[in-house]
Amino acid sequence: MSVTMTAAMPALCSTLLLTILRVAGAQSLPSFSSFVQSYKRSYSANSAEYENRRNLYEKRVADAEQQNKKLNKLWTAGVNEFWDWNPSEMSSLFGWSGAARPESSFGGSRMASIRKADFLQKGNRTLPEAKTWSHLQTMQSVKSQGGCGSCWAIAAVSTLEAATEIHSTQRRTFSAQELVSCVPNPQECGGQGGCRGATVELAVDWVMKYGNFEEYQAPYVGTDMPCQTTAEEALKLHENKNGAAFGMHGWETLPKNKYEPLVRALAETGPTAVSVDATPWHMYEKGIFDGCMKDAIINHAVVSIGYGVENGVKFWEIQNS
């Protein structure tokens, strides 16, 4: 099994068919009082916080109604659990500061696990017009970050779980919590580590070198918890089983903003972790999202599970956390 990962890929912010965790969708948008009841908010009526949250919510209702009234729109806006969150609270979930791909490993030298992506760029096989991995059992359950900026860890384990389902005879889960707790980020690539952000590359390199618990062995709690081991002790803790123990022979970073390498990775390898600007996604409910800003700034790691064309519009299929 060769696991393929990607570096920052802002080109994905063109058209997206998003598979996102949503609690409810509605044709008519509910009032703030209904929202408070549905999402079990505990704001005291007439308090300053209540009014601030109501103003945030009603601004998003107005924006959503404007989007839904557009003729020939590609996507529909709908209420979700984040509609009363302020921008700072929203950004805390992204877990990616826009930093570039890490150039060093935990010990200071360049990551030895990275292989060049030449095989993806030199492929001779004709690529299908559309490909989706949404049928995988791994993709049936969308992982939730909770209040932790752990998108990088969840994207990593989601991709690894899909790869083992596709390429290995023995499926297994992976522990995002171990990555949140244990993966060092001394150069603050993508964030300050743990729930304050890191990169998929750091997560996958950890698994490749030191192994990883299954989810039941280190369940996800979505907080910064102390790591129970050092990198040097991790292999012993995992019974001397690094990535090779479950068929992981390498991983690689795809060229940034290149269409064909990502399409080829999805068609020939499987779901692939990608980096995106998720700032404008908070209103999305269904359809092909085309509301990304022109000058996108990478802030979130997700999993691309396919691509396709609908009514002449090309899209990437994304599973969010």
Clarify whether residues 241 and 139 are in a common domain. Answer: yes
Clarify whether residues 126 and 189 are in a common domain. Answer: yes
Clarify whether residues 15 and 148 are in a common domain. Answer: yes
Compute the distance between CA of residue 221 and CA of residue 206 in angstroms, rounded to an integer. Answer: 20
**Domain membership of residue 45 as a residue range:** 23-79
Domain ends where: 32, 57, 79? Answer: 79
| Residue 64 φ/ψ region, left for φ over 0, alpha for ψ in the -120 to 50 degree band, beta for the rest | alpha
Do residues 274 and 159 lie in contact, with contact meaning Cβ atoms separated by under 8 Å?
A: no
Residue 8 is predicted with a pLDDT of 34
Do residues 211 and 218 lie in contact, with contact meaning Cβ atoms separated by under 8 Å?
A: no
Using DSSP's 3-state secondary structure scheme, residue 318 falls into strand
Do residues 277 and 296 lie in contact, with contact meaning Cβ atoms separated by under 8 Å?
A: yes
Residue 150, domain member (yes or no) = yes
Clarify whether residues 127 and 63 are in a common domain. Answer: no
pLDDT digits (tens, 9 = 90+) for 13-68: 445 555 443 333 445 789 999 999 999 999 888 899 999 999 999 999 999 999 99
From residue 260, how far is each of 162, 254, 307 by CA, in Å? Answer: 21, 10, 11
pLDDT above 70: percentage of residues in the chain: 78
Stated pTM of the model? 0.80
Please report which confidence band the pLDDT of residue 198 belongs to, taking 50, 70 and 90 as the band edges.
very high
Clarify whether residues 128 and 57 are in a common domain. Answer: no
Clarify whether residues 270 and 298 are in a common domain. Answer: yes
Clarify whether residues 98 and 242 are in a common domain. Answer: yes
Compute the distance between CA of residue 42 and CA of residue 213 in angstroms, rounded to an integer. Answer: 36
Clarify whether residues 10 and 157 are in a common domain. Answer: yes
- The residue-averaged pLDDT of 254-281 equals 91
Clarify whether residues 11 and 53 are in a common domain. Answer: no
Clarify whether residues 138 and 236 are in a common domain. Answer: yes
Please report which confidence band the pLDDT of residue 159 belongs to, taking 50, 70 and 90 as the band edges.
very high
Clarify whether residues 98 and 47 are in a common domain. Answer: no
Higher pLDDT, 307 or 124: 307
Clarify whether residues 213 and 272 are in a common domain. Answer: yes
pLDDT digits (tens, 9 = 90+) for 80-111: 888 998 888 887 777 655 443 434 334 333 34
Compute the distance between CA of residue 68 and CA of residue 80 in angstroms, rounded to an integer. Answer: 15
Q: How many domains does the chain have?
A: 2
Helix pair angle (151-167, 200-210), 10° resolution: 50
Residue 266, domain member (yes or no) = yes
Domain ends where: 79, 106, 124? Answer: 79
Q: Where are the alpha helices (DSSP H) in the chain?
A: 32-38, 48-68, 87-94, 118-121, 151-167, 176-182, 200-210, 231-237, 259-268
Residue 274, domain member (yes or no) = yes
Residue 283, domain member (yes or no) = no
Residue 111 is predicted with a pLDDT of 40
Do residues 183 and 227 lie in contact, with contact meaning Cβ atoms separated by under 8 Å?
A: no
Neighbours of 110 (CB within 10 A): 10
Q: Catalytic site residues? A: 151, 300, 320
Give the CATH number, domain containing residue 13: 3.90.70.10
